[in-house]
């Protein structure tokens, strides 16, 4: 479980910072901390997909927190609308190590952390929107809970020196690109692929319990048409498998 003693201090004095802010929030670290909280929350929402149905209460509370941050950022004007096409790679920047929380603003290259959450924000407003799926498939596939999970949590490990932000980013790219298609398929062959799309994940945790067998088939079919990576084939096979089971029963 968790080591004794929680050393993190940053953001924990948040109430003080909030009190001194007026209007635009001139203290840069507040934005940084808020951004980090947003990142952390989104990671939590995605990682909550495991074999057992995720805790709905926890998911709802995290989602409410994300909404709250998003609203505040919208009011501040820090929520920039960026072309969704460009966020494929850049969105990975947003998987900021939670170490950022404790980093001083001097160490940060401010330019790297320009918020570009338009694609994520659209999710919350229009989760069923199909055109988001392909944009996010690159991001979402990183969140596959099996193997890359260790990478994500490694990022948040305070023991290692994460001063080099680029290094952690490289690790993610490595995971994605160095895996040949076959091994990825094997890795995920027995896991439900529909959970790897961000919006399905977000919808899924809210509404997977309402899916009748028709909805399950629908979500699988939407997977096969929009999923651009090599898991397409396994999706179709799984779809056939599901249909077989349903028809036989």
Partner 1 sequence: MIPGIGNLTQDTLWCFSQVKGTIDIGVTEADIISTVEFNHTGELLATGDKGGRVVIFQREQESKNQLHRRGEYNVYSTFQSHEPEFDYLKSLEIEEKINKIRWLPQQNAAYFLLSTNDKTVKLWKVSERDKRPEGYNLKDEDGRLRDPATITTLRVPVLRPMDLMVEATPRRVFANAHTYHINSISVNSDYETYMSADDLRINLWNFEITNQSFNIVDIKPANMEELTEVITAAEFHPLHCNTFVYSSSKGTIRLCDMRASALCDRHTKFFEEPEDPSNRSFFSEIISSISDVKFSHSGRYIMTRDYLTVKVWDLNMENRPIETYQVHDYLRSKLCSLYENDCIFDKFECVWNGSDSVIMTGSYNNFFRMFDRNTKRDVTLEASRENSKPRAILKPRKVCVGGKRRKDEISVDSLDFSKKILHTAWHPSENIIAVAATNNLYIFQDKVN
Binding-site ranges for partner 1 (CB under 8 A): 1-2, 4-8, 10-15, 18, 34, 37, 40, 44, 51-53, 55-58, 60-61, 63-65, 68-69, 98, 101, 127, 156, 192, 203, 206-211, 213, 216, 245
Smallest gap from Cβ 178 to partner 1, in A, equals: 28
Distance CA 146, CA 151 (A): 10
Two structure tokens written together for 144: 């596959």
Which residue, 92 or 102, has its beta carbon nearer to partner 1? Answer: 102
- The least distance separating partner 1 from the CB of residue 93, rounded to whole angstroms, comes to 20
The pair of structure tokens assigned to 123 is: 């999710």
- Residue that the structure tokens 């995971």 belong to: 175
CB of 8 to partner 1, least distance (A): 4
Residue placing its CB nearer to partner 1 in the complex, 16 or 177:
16
**Phi and psi torsions of 30, nearest 5°:** -65, -45
- The tokens for 175 are 């995971």
Least gap, CB of 86 to partner 1 (angstroms): 26
Under 8 Å between Cβ of 136 and 91: yes
CB of 96 to partner 1, least distance (A): 12
Smaller CB separation from partner 1, 138 or 203: 203
Q: Which is nearer to partner 1, 68 or 83 (CB)?
A: 68
CA 97 and chain centroid, separation: 13
Q: Which is nearer to partner 1, 12 or 131 (CB)?
A: 12
> Cα(78)–Cα(104) distance, rounded to whole angstroms?
20
User: Residue 142's closest CA among 1, 42, 36?
Assistant: 42
């Amino acid at each position: 479980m968790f080591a004794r003693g929680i050393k993190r201090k940053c953001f924990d004095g948040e109430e003080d910072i909030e009190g001194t802010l007026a209007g635009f929030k001139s203290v840069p670290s507040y934005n940084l901390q808020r951004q980090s909280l947003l990142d952390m929350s989104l990671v939590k929402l995605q990682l909550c997909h495991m074999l057992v149905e995720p805790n709905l209460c926890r998911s709802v509370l995290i989602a409410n927190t994300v909404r709250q941050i998003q609203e505040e950022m919208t009011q501040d004007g820090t929520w920039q609308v960026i072309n969704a096409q460009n966020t494929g790679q850049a969105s990975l920047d947003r998987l900021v190590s939670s170490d950022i929380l404790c980093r001083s603003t001097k160490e940060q290259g401010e330019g790297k952390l320009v918020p570009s959450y338009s694609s994520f924000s659209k999710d919350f407003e229009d989760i069923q929107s199909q055109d988001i799926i392909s944009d996010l498939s690159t991001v979402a596939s990183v969140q596959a809970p099996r193997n890359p999970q260790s990478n994500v949590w490694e990022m948040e490990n305070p023991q290692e020196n994460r001063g080099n932000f680029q290094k952690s980013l490289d690790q993610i790219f490595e995971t994605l690109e160095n895996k040949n298609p076959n091994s990825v398929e094997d890795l995920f062959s027995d896991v439900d692929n529909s959970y790897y799309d961000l919006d399905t994940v977000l919808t899924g945790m809210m509404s997977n319990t309402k899916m009748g067998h028709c909805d399950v088939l629908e979500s699988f079919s939407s997977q096969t048409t929009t999923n651009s990576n090599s898991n397409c084939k396994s999706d179709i096979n799984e779809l056939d498998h599901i249909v077989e089971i349903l028809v036989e029963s």
